[in-house]
Amino acid sequence: MNGPQDLGGQMGFGPVAPEKDEPIFHADWEKRALGVTLATGAFGAWNIDESRHARETLTPAEYYTSSYYQIWIKGLETLLQRHGFVSSADLAAGKAVDPAAKPKRVLMAADVAAALARGGPCDRPMETPARFKAGDRVRTKNFNPTGHTRLPRYARAKQGVIEAVREGYVFPDSNAHHKGENPQWLYTVVFDGAEIWGEGADPTLTVSIDAWESYLEPA
Amino acid sequence: MSHNHDHDHHHHDNELDPFAARVRALETILTQKGLIDPAAIDAIVDTYETKVGPRNGAKVVAKAWSDPAYADWLKRDATAAIASLGFIGRQGEHMQAVFNTPDTHNMVVCTLCSCYPWPVLGLPPVWYKAPPYRSRAVIDPRGVLAEFGVTLSADMKVRVWDSTAELRYLVVPMRPEGADGLGEDQLAELVTRDSMIGTGLARQPA
């Protein structure tokens, strides 16, 4: 979706302002936000693509006035309610009021190290050969889906070159909506700055994205 | 006693700010329902405070600077080469190392969210996740670099990698001049977090 998350090339947000000797966390609640987000991910009720989509469906006004951990928690409240683990009555009361759905698993302290080490690989075996090879010229799709996608607006309907053929990767555009993993070949596609930004582009700039096969057509 | 509502409303000791209270309520609800183990949350936090951080990535870079065979492996199969040093797991399941050269500078961004190679760099800094960096890295990388105090020569090629999939990028900065004879541990001291994102360069040896 053309949501607030799709930031590439947007203007007006000001300087980057890196913080010298930035702490890992800026408040104790950020630690709990990280932990709760990861621990509830272990339920197995949603996937990383659905969780990203829950964050990007915050309204622009809310997204842009929230810190990233706030965005995580707001997205998480949506997911927990959608999947029946937490109700609006629970949230209003600040304590457990309603019964909860049963998760596939609850992450216990003893299992944390193994779970973090395992992560969530998203490569999948492919039964079909890759359509493109390194060096092929391609054009990205022009579309404006209302659901989740990982093709940023700035890189739509642009001509680029396949730089690397990766592996079969879970397709976020369907996986986010529980319509299946539908793995597709993933490619690194590189674009000249001028192709993306046109007049005034930095002549030394190239930008790459990682694009699923269905985002691409031969050019 | 006067009512002083405009004053120190949010500054009493032990009073949670509204968002801290919101997170605590969520954790309380989930704990009461038996859905989370608070000790698991402590373990997760401890992992990213004490075990996983940019020192891991610095070891990878220092080894690549010191050992051509390792550098070649890192170029071909970063996931395996990095795993061989024990750095594996969440948000680093699929890794690609990108090497700066005398004529190309690499910089990594996630314009769509906050994708970042946790096993080698730890949790991302606030600026990496915030709109100014995410919006400008792809259109004005030199302007962004200037805000980090980095000026590249005008003819240096700039390559920006937008992490749109589950492939995570680690920049291998140029080995600084004058670092001959340094061991891997000393070399690792020259490798900053920002140099592995591409918003900085490696430190010069003292």
- What would the mean pLDDT of B94-100 be, rounded to a whole number? 98
In angstroms, rounded to a whole number, what is the distance separating the alpha carbons of residues B184 and A2?
Answer: 46
pLDDT at position B206, please? 84
pLDDT at position B1, please? 37
ipTM, 2 dp: 0.98
Please tell me the CATH code under which domain B53-197 is placed: 3.90.330.10
E strands, chain B, are: 95-99, 104-109, 157-162, 168-172
The answer to whether A155 and A210 are in contact (CB under 8 A) is no
Q: Is B89 on the interface with A (CB under 8 A)?
A: yes
In angstroms, rounded to a whole number, what is the distance separating the alpha carbons of residues B83 and B133?
Answer: 29
Is B66 in a helix, a strand, or coil?
A: helix
Per-residue pLDDT of chain A (219 residues), as tens digits, is 999 999 999 999 999 989 999 999 999 999 999 999 999 999 999 999 999 999 999 999 999 999 999 999 999 999 999 999 999 999 999 999 999 999 999 999 999 999 999 999 999 999 999 999 999 999 999 999 999 999 999 999 999 999 999 999 999 999 999 999 999 999 999 999 999 999 999 999 999 999 999 999 999
Q: Could you state, in order of their start, the residue ranges of all structural domains in chain B?
A: 53-197
In angstroms, rounded to a whole number, what is the distance separating the alpha carbons of residues A191 and A216?
Answer: 13
B140 or B5, which is more confident?
B140
Give yes or no for residue B2 having a pLDDT over 50.
no
Q: Give the nearest chain B residue to A110 (CA atoms).
A: B40
Q: Which among A34, A43, A55 has CB closest to B44?
A: A34
Q: B35 and A85 in contact by Cβ < 8 A?
A: yes
pLDDT at position B6, please? 44
> A74 φ, ψ to 5°?
-65, -40
Could you give the percent of chain B with pLDDT greater than 70?
Answer: 93
Domain A28-118 has what CATH class?
Answer: mainly alpha
- DSSP label at B14? T
In angstroms, rounded to a whole number, what is the distance separating the alpha carbons of residues B61 and A167?
Answer: 25
Q: Could you state, in order of their start, the residue ranges of all structural domains in chain A?
A: 28-118, 123-218
In angstroms, rounded to a whole number, what is the distance separating the alpha carbons of residues B23 and A74?
Answer: 10
In angstroms, rounded to a whole number, what is the distance separating the alpha carbons of residues B126 and B109?
Answer: 13
The answer to whether B165 and B112 are in contact (CB under 8 A) is no
Structure tokens at A129: 């050969």
In angstroms, the separation between the Cα of residue A179 and the nearest Cα of chain B is 18
Q: B29 and A186 in contact by Cβ < 8 A?
A: no
Chain A hits for B92, CB-CB cut-off 8 Å, are 119
Q: Where does the pLDDT of residue B14 fall: very low under 50, low under 70, confident under 90, or very high at 90 and above?
A: low
Active site residue B66: no
Give yes or no for residue B9 having a pLDDT over 60.
no
Q: Is A185 on the interface with B (CB under 8 A)?
A: no
> A61 φ, ψ to 5°?
-60, -40
Contacts of B83 (CB under 8 A, 6+ apart): none
Give yes or no for residue B4 having a pLDDT over 60.
no
Q: B37 and A100 in contact by Cβ < 8 A?
A: no
Pick from B95, B166, B197 the residue to mutate for testing the A interface (most A CBs within 10 Å): B166
- What would the mean pLDDT of B70-84 be, rounded to a whole number? 98
Active site residue B195: no
In angstroms, rounded to a whole number, what is the distance separating the alpha carbons of residues A209 and A188?
Answer: 6
pLDDT at position B110, please? 98
pLDDT at position B16, please? 79
Q: Which among A15, A40, A150 has CB closest to B30?
A: A40
The mean of the pLDDT values for chain B is: 94
Give yes or no for residue B166 having a pLDDT over 70.
yes
Q: B147 and A16 in contact by Cβ < 8 A?
A: yes
- Beta-strand relationship, A159-169 and A123-124: antiparallel
pLDDT at position B7, please? 45
Please tell me the CATH code under which domain A123-218 is placed: 2.30.30.50
Number of Cβ pairs < 8 A linking chain A and chain B: 263
Q: Is B41 on the interface with A (CB under 8 A)?
A: yes
As a three-state string, the secondary structure of chain A is CCCCCCCCCCCCCCCCCCCCCCCCCCCHHHHHHHHHHHHHHCCCCCCHHHHHHHHHCCCHHHHHCCCHHHHHHHHHHHHHHHCCCCCHHHHHHCCCCCCCCCCCCCCCHHHHHHHHHHCCCCEECCCCCCCCCCCCEEEECCCCCCCCCCCCHHHCCCEEEEEEEEEEECCHHHHCCCCCCCCEEEEEEEEEHHHHHCCCCCCCEEEEEEEEHHHEEEC
